Amino acid sequence: MGRYPLKPLVVLGATGSIGMQTLEVAERVGASIHAIAANRASQSLHDLAVEYPEAIVCVASPGEARERFEAEFGNRVRFGPEAFVVVAATPGSVVVNGVVGAAGLRPSLAALGAGNRLALANKESLVSGGPLMLDALASGGGELIPVDSEHSAIWQCLVGESSDDVKRLILTASGGPFRGMSAEELASVTIAEALDHPTWSMGPRITTDSATLMNKAFEVIEAHYLFGVEYDDIDVVVHPESVVHSFVEFVDGVVKAEIGPPDMRKPLQYAITGPTRVPAGHTPFDPIATTLTFEAPDRAAFPCLDLGYEAGRIGGTATAVLNAADEIAVEAFLAGRIRFVDIAGVVDDVLGRHTAVRPRTVEDVEAADAEARVHASEVCAALMR
Ligand code: MG
């Protein structure tokens, strides 16, 4: 410690997988915790509030536990979604945004607007609010550092490089549990099969999105906003081992990649301490025991990938619609109401009905999102008949 200036952390989504791994990384690198925030006043948030007695505790929807939290933690507890926005704007902090869903956008904008470093794991911030995020980054003078393994890999490959020298980004995709299956075979896959991801352990929505390749589509859109690269210059390659986290090809033909055993704590740590590297005691990389294979994604069997490119090229609110429609379709699939292969059809239908605009405010994004949810629910209901 002391080799680098470590700012206090604001951990949004503290009780989720990203949040818990952030606290682990913070412990290891010696970062202090300024605030922890979670959607519900769960027992795990309570335990964290006890474990971090100096931290501000934010609860978006406290429900019946409100009084208990107030009685126990006094004036260091804050309630409501606005509390996330306020702590994200704490000057001189690093904000790790591991919020799940559209609720992550406002705190992301607040962090960037306050000139903070934003370690971004909330996908909706860039997929739904990309143009707003770039505005906030430019006006607030903060830093936007990706936490997702693919984008962290590209980020690290670009350290010391000029963006003018980038020819192409190649995002790797594990291919999910249904890699190699035909559209026909996919017609009868079950919910349990979709939730059985080969390499990463994540929540049900993102695991289903990995199975449809929609998650990769979202990552293509995020890469476009993060690195200012056009969609024609972003490729996806299926790499089942998830060891190469992504590639950058430069104009002189040189290709860089970031490689290692999959472990979210590495990109998380880099987003917090980078460009300083801190010893971490991770699983060592063993090239002899590692086999790397690559194949082209099956765009016909997994049409969500191209739907992402399509929405990305339309731009503006189209990608917010892509995300909202997908969320409703995935919910319907996980509830057993539509088939796995119907997810892409629902998203395609909803996207086709939307007239995209460039969002000026969060309300513009929310309006597109809300409209898409209504349309998607209608399409799902029609499929059930
Ligand atoms: Mg990823």
Q: Last residue of a domain, which of 275, 301, 327? A: 301
Q: Looking at the structure, do residues 82 and 40 belong to the same domain, yes or no?
A: yes
Q: What percent of the chain is modeled with pLDDT above 90?
A: 93
The model's pTM: 0.96
Residues 209-243: tens digit of each pLDDT: 999 999 999 999 999 999 999 999 999 999 999 99
Q: How far is ligand 1, taken at its centre, from the CA of residue 75, in Å? A: 37
Q: Is 117 within a domain? A: yes
Instruction: Judge whether 268 and 96 are in contact, CB under 8 Å.
Output: yes
**pLDDT at residue number 258:** 98
Q: Is 229 within a domain? A: yes
Domain that holds residue 384: 315-385
Q: Looking at the structure, do residues 122 and 171 belong to the same domain, yes or no?
A: no
Q: Looking at the structure, do residues 250 and 349 belong to the same domain, yes or no?
A: no
Q: Last residue of a domain, which of 237, 270, 301? A: 301
Q: CA dihedral defined by 116, 122, 128, 132, rounded to 10 degrees? A: 0
Does residue 4 carry a pLDDT above 90? no
The encoded tokens of residue 227 equal 């690195």
Residue with tokens 């003078």: 141
Q: How far is ligand 1, taken at its centre, from the CA of residue 263, in Å? A: 11
Does residue 200 carry a pLDDT above 90? no
Cβ burial 273-293 (10 Å sphere, 16+ → b, else e): bbeeebeeeeeeeeeeeeeee
> Predicted confidence band at 198 (pLDDT cuts at 50, 70, 90)?
low
Least confident interval from 39-43, 85-89, 197-201: 197-201
Domain count for the chain: 3
**pLDDT at residue number 2:** 47
CATH of the domain at 29: 3.40.50.720
**pLDDT at residue number 280:** 87
Per-residue DSSP letter, 6: P
Instruction: Judge whether 203 and 100 are in contact, CB under 8 Å.
Output: yes
CATH of the domain at 335: 1.10.1740.10
Three-state secondary-structure class, residue 19 = helix
Q: Is 306 within a domain? A: no
Q: Last residue of a domain, which of 301, 331, 357? A: 301
- C-alpha R_g of the chain: 20
Q: How far apart are CA 346 and CA 358, in angstroms?
A: 23
Q: Looking at the structure, do residues 119 and 213 belong to the same domain, yes or no?
A: no
Q: How far is ligand 1, taken at its centre, from the CA of residue 79, in Å? A: 31
Query: Quick one: which H or E segment has residue 271?
Result: helix 265-273
Q: How far apart are CA 98 and CA 37, in angstroms?
A: 10
Q: How far apart are CA 46 and CA 301, in angstroms?
A: 45
The encoded tokens of residue 281 equal 């005691």
Q: Is 277 within a domain? A: no
Residues with CB under 5 A from ligand 1 (ion): 148, 150
Q: Is 275 within a domain? A: no
Residues 119-129: tens digit of each pLDDT: 999 999 999 99
Q: How far is ligand 1, taken at its centre, from the CA of residue 219, in Å? A: 7
Q: Is 339 within a domain? A: yes
Q: Looking at the structure, do residues 162 and 297 belong to the same domain, yes or no?
A: yes
Q: Looking at the structure, do residues 106 and 129 belong to the same domain, yes or no?
A: yes
Instruction: Judge whether 198 and 211 are in contact, CB under 8 Å.
Output: no
Q: How far is ligand 1, taken at its centre, from the CA of residue 151, in Å? A: 8
> Predicted confidence band at 354 (pLDDT cuts at 50, 70, 90)?
very high
Q: Is 68 within a domain? A: yes
Residues 244-293: tens digit of each pLDDT: 999 999 999 999 999 999 999 999 999 999 999 999 888 899 999 999 99
Q: How far is ligand 1, taken at its centre, from the CA of residue 36, in Å? A: 24
Q: How far is ligand 1, taken at its centre, from the CA of residue 320, in Å? A: 18
Q: Looking at the structure, do residues 136 and 20 belong to the same domain, yes or no?
A: yes
The encoded tokens of residue 229 equal 């690269």
Q: Looking at the structure, do residues 252 and 357 belong to the same domain, yes or no?
A: no
Q: Looking at the structure, do residues 93 and 194 belong to the same domain, yes or no?
A: no
Q: Is 4 within a domain? A: no
Instruction: Judge whether 109 and 101 are in contact, CB under 8 Å.
Output: no
Nearest in space to 37 (alpha carbons), one of 273, 204, 18, 269: 18
Q: How far is ligand 1, taken at its centre, from the CA of residue 149, in Å? A: 5
Does residue 1 carry a pLDDT above 50? no
> Predicted confidence band at 204 (pLDDT cuts at 50, 70, 90)?
confident
Q: Looking at the structure, do residues 90 and 22 belong to the same domain, yes or no?
A: yes
Q: How far is ligand 1, taken at its centre, from the CA of residue 73, in Å? A: 36
Q: How far apart are CA 35 and CA 45, in angstroms?
A: 12
**pLDDT at residue number 201:** 63
Q: Looking at the structure, do residues 51 and 131 belong to the same domain, yes or no?
A: yes
**pLDDT at residue number 203:** 78
Q: Looking at the structure, do residues 107 and 190 belong to the same domain, yes or no?
A: no
Q: How far is ligand 1, taken at its centre, from the CA of residue 18, in Å? A: 12
Beta carbons within 8 Å of 158's beta carbon, 6+ residues apart? 166, 227, 248
